[in-house]
Chain A
Amino acid sequence: MTRSGSLPRYILQRVLLVIPMIWVILTLVFVVLRVAPGDPVSAALGGKLSDEALDQRRAALGFNEPLIEQYWDYLSAVARLDFGTTFSDNQPVLQVVRDNGGATLSLTLAAFLLALVLGIPLGLVAGRFRDTIPDVVIRMFGILTYAAPVFFVGFLLQAYAAKPLGLPTSGASSPITAFTVEPVTHILLVDAFLSGDGAAIEDVLKHLVLPALTLGLLVCGVFIRLVRVNILQTMQSDYVEAAEARGIARGKVTRRHAFRNALVPVITVIGLQFALLLGGAVLTESTFNWPGLGNKLVDYINDRDYGAVQGIITVFAVAVVLISLLVDIVNALIDPRVRY
């Protein structure tokens, strides 16, 4: 039914849909941050600069222009990948993203891998042995990992696990490592490997364990629930019944027929989990004082720095939309039914 020629068309359609999506999100961000009372410049810098200096900054940042013009400037700047500057420390947002994004990236990726490795096997076992003791235990575990806020898991790990295991609870590395490792990619783990310094690698990895475990457990619960439900539905399908009717052993049917198909929808949901991961990352970073983008965002919020908040949220928005685009395309490549 599906011609292979329809894949490029699907991708093109999907790419075209991204543009209005980003536009709506950007407009929302702009409107939300401009309806706030008071003006952003004095909110961030009031008391620190003289009135004249404040006026100059306001003019330089374009706050004296009509709203519609500011809106246009904002949109066209984003199109040029210029996300503005922060008000409080006058840095380009892109530089903030470069300096802190790497830490967020390594944290989320490590957490994600951990969640996959833990979540998928547990979900498969729970679904296969429905309503037995393992299923009950695994389901409760899944609900608990969802119900426990990341900062509570972080608190428990810091209070009970950090000391016995000799693991650090704050930051992404000890100061000496941060000082000696040359920033090449701005992703500390990669830079540590590039430097070839064994002690630095060990130090960075040790710092990563507890935050990654905390964030990973959150997403792991989602995978357990998802895989379990998928297995339940697959086990009831006709082709599984047909395989059983042909006399294939139960274990083999489960492994060869049910498991594989049950895992296909997981790929779709992986993309959706990115949003959860980002939200959880903000809290994990705050719990472990992790020098990532989420932590930075909270700092800027407490400083009432509208420029930084607008810029960082815009970067997040573009990233989320692009990643969901990527997931959809990968999905279309794997599963022909998607690209109708």
Chain B
Amino acid sequence: MRGVLRLLAKPFTETAGLARWMLVAGVAITVIFLVLALFAPWIAPYGFAQSSADGVRFPKAGAPSGDHLLGTDRLFFDVFSRVIWGARTAIEVVVLSILICVAVGVPLGLVSGYYGGWMDRILVMIMDALFAFPSFLLAIVFSFLFTDIIGGSVLAVALSLSVIYIPQYFRVVRNTTVSAKEATYVEAARAIGASDGVIMRRYLFGNVVQSVPVLGTLNAADAILTLAGLGFLGLGIQSTDAAEWGHDLNRALADAGSGIWWTGLFPGLAIVLLVTGLTLVGEGLNETVNPTLRRRRLLPVVMSARQETTMTEGGN
């Protein structure tokens, strides 16, 4: 337990000054959004697709007021509620897609790196091709496919996001496995008769998953943007199924010229804040993990006063 706590505290204790401040800010922002997502039904005053309360219809594109803190949009929806429900959608999609990425990318990379051979070559080639292709276009194509198969749901979007991030997990895990499988402890395990499955699960797994959390945080920021982008193009989740910031911004675009600023400003700010928070966390982690960027606090070195006698004696 203490070991886990120390591991979690490591990024904070190993950074100083500005870097630590940025990391703390990032964690704070991320936690706020997690709370919004978890408790959305209690925090949001209305439902995400609710256009009336107590039999009274909400105003159409009404300005922010006491009843509707951030106003209402052209579909009579309450903007404040949709921003909060949007946090839930975003977190749901991102968590789901990272889980899929880890569930597919890690074992695939482990097996591919461990056994090598032609299967490894083909997988590397496919993953490299996926990685080289513009990720947003890839997400567009796959969401086109998945929404055709399973409809425009959270799962369909999460799957299309996974496709663009799996190559990164595969690559990291595979390359670590390739170098780790030559290590002495693996050889020792093999010598005592451990099977391939046991070596991969018990010996290699723990060593190759260490870079996954950093990758996950950095991808989460990117995933939020991709999700919003798909929603903006109308390829993601429909606005009556769930609140999605990107989709709301698309509808708000028509308002931009007519002085209705509240329908677009708030979902947009929500995206910017959450992505900034996740990026700060990712960068903070990266600065502690990547030694070329790290700048530790310098401890002043106090030299004891020189003494004439020791100088002359030590000189010889």
Q: Contact residues of A with B, CB < 8 Å?
A: 20-21, 24-25, 28-29, 32-33, 35-38, 131, 136, 143-144, 146-149, 151-152, 154-156, 158-160, 162-163, 169, 229, 232-233, 274-276, 278-280, 282-283, 286-287, 297-298, 301-302, 304, 309, 313, 316-317, 320-321, 324
With a cutoff of 8 Å between Cβ atoms, the chain A residues found around residue B255 in the complex are: 159
The reply to whether the CB of B234 lies closer than 8 angstroms to some CB of chain A is yes
Cβ contacts A to B, 24 pairs, < 8 Å:
A21-B132, A24-B129, A25-B129, A28-B130, A32-B142, A33-B141, A33-B145, A35-B145, A136-B18, A151-B249, A155-B264, A159-B256, A159-B257, A159-B265, A162-B256, A275-B134, A279-B135, A279-B137, A283-B136, A283-B232, A298-B233, A302-B234, A317-B133, A324-B132
Q: How far is the CA of A20 from the CA of B253 in the complex (A)?
A: 42
The reply to whether the CB of B106 lies closer than 8 angstroms to some CB of chain A is no
Interface residue tally of chain B, by bracket? 35 or more
Contact A279 B136 (CB under 8 A): yes
Q: How far is the CA of A144 from the CA of B268 in the complex (A)?
A: 12
Q: How far is the CB of B3 from chain A (nearest CB, A)?
A: 32
With a cutoff of 8 Å between Cβ atoms, the chain A residues found around residue B275 in the complex are: 146-148
The reply to whether the CB of B7 lies closer than 8 angstroms to some CB of chain A is no
Contact B271 A309 (CB under 8 A): no
Contact A301 B144 (CB under 8 A): yes
Q: In chain B, residues 238-269, which have Cβ atoms closer than 8 Å to a Cβ of chain A? A: 246, 249-250, 252-253, 255-257, 261, 264-265, 268
The reply to whether the CB of B32 lies closer than 8 angstroms to some CB of chain A is no
Answer whether A36 and B264 are a contact pair too, CB < 8 Å, given A149-B228, A155-B256, A313-B137.
Answer: no
Answer whether A321 and B137 are a contact pair too, CB < 8 Å, given A143-B279, A283-B233, A302-B234.
Answer: no
Among candidates B129, B140, B250, B252, residue contacting A28 with C-beta atoms closer than 8 Å: B129
Main secondary structure of the interface of B (DSSP, over half): helix
Nearest chain-A residue to B149 (Cβ)? A37
Contact A36 B149 (CB under 8 A): yes
With a cutoff of 8 Å between Cβ atoms, the chain A residues found around residue B261 in the complex are: 159-160
Q: How far is the CB of B56 from chain A (nearest CB, A)?
A: 29
Answer whether A143 and B280 are a contact pair too, CB < 8 Å, given A21-B128, A21-B132, A159-B256.
Answer: yes
Q: In chain B, residues 12-49, which have Cβ atoms closer than 8 Å to a Cβ of chain A? A: 17-18
Q: How far is the CB of A284 from chain B (nearest CB, A)?
A: 11
Contact B276 A149 (CB under 8 A): no
Q: How far is the CA of A286 from the CA of B231 in the complex (A)?
A: 12
Contact B128 A28 (CB under 8 A): no
Answer whether A279 and B142 are a contact pair too, CB < 8 Å, given A21-B129, A151-B246.
Answer: no
Contact A152 B137 (CB under 8 A): no
With a cutoff of 8 Å between Cβ atoms, the chain B residues found around residue A282 in the complex are: 136-137, 140, 233
With a cutoff of 8 Å between Cβ atoms, the chain B residues found around residue A136 in the complex are: 18
Answer whether A148 and B130 are a contact pair too, CB < 8 Å, given A155-B249, A232-B293, A282-B140.
Answer: no
Contact A275 B135 (CB under 8 A): yes
Among candidates B145, B232, B257, B280, residue contacting A149 with C-beta atoms closer than 8 Å: B232
